[in-house]
Amino acid sequence: MSDNQIQIITDSFWPLLKAGVVYTIPLTLISFTLGLVLAVITALVRLYAWDFLKPVARFYVWVIRGTPLLVQLFIIFYGLPSVGLTINPFLSAIIGFTLSVGAYGSEIVRAAIISIPKGQWEAAYSLGMTRWQALRRIILPQAARVTVPPLGNSFISLLKDTSLASAITYVEMFRRAQQDVARTYEPMLLYCEVALIYLLFSTVLSTLQNIVEKRLDRSSVS
């Protein structure tokens, strides 16, 4: 490796890391949080809402899971302006990722709710709780523990998927790397470098995930 190449690596490291911390991670956190809210609402609608709403939720999950995330982002960012709706890259990315987490997450949440034994509902009902009270106080807290491992995986997937936002011109970490490549003509070096930073992020996250899971394991719930 030439001195020049080493120079390029060290010069681009901090800007890349910074782009990760300032753009990629917030994009991931915001989309995931909003997506989780959407996932819980969608799961509850599919399980318990009025019958006319259930097909709406099913349709949403079907469309999002059945089409590529990249295509969805393109429709939001490049497609919607032609019907008079122009959304900036950041917001487009947030919308796209939120819808995605909402759809996949709703299946995880739904499965977790269904997995709670019927006896828990019956015990809550026998104490005079309404369905909403039983859900909020008894069922959802137990379901939440069940969802930690699969949702942890979704979170790490999302962190990597945010690189797709580069395709709709949002300058997150990967787009930043592309710009550096355009300037330096060192694709191998810089793409490997950015890959390593993603690896660093996801390793930290899976370590955190393991700690949370262990802690949940120790505190109660057989």
Interacting residues toward another protein by CB under 8 A: 117, 119-120, 122-123, 125-130, 133, 137-138, 141-142, 145, 219-222
What region does 2 belong to: left with phi over 0, alpha with psi -120 to 50, or beta?
beta
Please, which residue, 131 or 183, has the CB nearer to another protein? 131
Distance in Å, CB of 149 to another protein, minimum: 17
CB 46 within 8 A of CB 106: yes
Distance in Å, CB of 120 to another protein, minimum: 6
Within 8 A by CB and 6+ apart from 47, the residues are 110, 113, 114
Rounded to 10°, the helix 25-48/140-161 angle is 140
Distance in Å, CB of 129 to another protein, minimum: 6
Please, which residue, 148 or 171, has the CB nearer to another protein? 148
CB 140 within 8 A of CB 113: yes
Distance in Å, CB of 145 to another protein, minimum: 7
Within 8 A by CB and 6+ apart from 153, the residues are 209
Please, which residue, 80 or 216, has the CB nearer to another protein? 216
Please, which residue, 10 or 115, has the CB nearer to another protein? 115
